[in-house]
Amino acid sequence: MMYQSTSIRRAGALLAGILLLATPTARAVGLDRRQSAAVQVAKIASVENIAVRSNGQILATNMNSPNLYSVDATAKTSATAVVVTGASGLSGIGETAPDVFAVIGGGKSIYKVDFTSSTPKASLIKTIKEANNLNGLAVFDNDTVLVADAGKGNVYRFSVSTGDYSVVLNDPTMAPSGGIPFGIDGIKYKDGVVWYTNIFKNSFHKVPVDPTTAKATGAVVTLWTNLMGDDLCFGPNGKIYVATNGKNSVVEVDPAVGKPTQVASVTGSTSCAFGRTDKDKDVIYVGGGSGVYSQTIKL
């Protein structure tokens, strides 16, 4: 979630107060700092989410534009890869098949963007009419994505081939709060566990799920409740990386410990993804308020 976007800037002083407020709880955590400012590789206003193609190109979304941008981190250039017609803006994105991506558009719809031919093509899969504000997206398997509804505080299981969907997760830790309101934001899935943030509750959580149905098989575990978290990504070292938005950083989290360590400084950090080539497999790319950034991570 890019809280600096047009719609959220209207919240003004109320939002600023929310961003500075840390929720008091016994699950509070300290924040270690290990690295400094990341390097800007492309200037794009208000990047919301990013994904990396197998060829090394970075895809970036913006909640206020239907353009899906492509970024060349080596050349430090960007261009519109495809316009997602029908979407007022784009948010969560994930690769469901080689060079085929599911993208959230307009807060209610899921689109397919196909890069397998010479000309990228975008098409609507389905609109979830009852959704309030779809934002985060996690790839569950090669036909299924999990989509977080920040406005309702639940998670849909969505088939990219049929458009069928149903609510599979709904928990108080996902509920919206604040003046916007906005709840569950970033979401990712790996090895039977869903990891997610609640941006205005400054919290980070995990829940075990069935690998077929995506329904919870155990209780939600809260890792922290005093650090803002936006979207997140997995590193090749088994660690989890969380963009902290208003806290202007990316933190590294050991899943076994849960304590965050700052590894990059990016203003308005919203999202992250690791490089996929031999040259940049240890580089984390970060979406932020002014573009896409990179930071080498010691793996």
d(CA 173, CA 184): 8
Q: Residue 92: CB partners within 8 Å, gap ≥ 6?
A: 49, 61, 103, 104, 134, 135, 136, 137, 147, 148, 187, 231
Does pTM surpass 0.95?
no
Backbone φ and ψ for 98, nearest 5 degrees, come out as -50, 115
Local structure of 2: helix, strand or coil: coil
**Secondary structure letter of residue 24 according to DSSP:** P
User: DSSP readout, 97-159?
Assistant: ETTEEEEEETTTEEEEEE-SSSS-EEEEEEE-TT-S-EEEEEEEETTEEEEEETTTTEEEEEE
Q: What is the pLDDT along the chain (299 residues), one digit of tens a residue?
A: 765 443 433 333 233 333 333 333 334 455 666 656 799 999 999 999 999 999 999 999 999 999 999 999 999 999 999 999 999 999 999 999 999 999 999 999 999 999 999 999 999 999 999 999 999 999 999 999 999 999 999 999 999 999 999 999 999 999 999 888 899 999 999 999 999 999 999 999 999 999 999 999 999 999 999 999 999 999 999 999 999 999 999 999 999 999 999 999 999 999 999 999 999 999 999 999 999 999 999 98
CATH code of the domain occupying 27-296:
2.120.10.30
Segments making up each domain of the chain, as ranges: 27-296
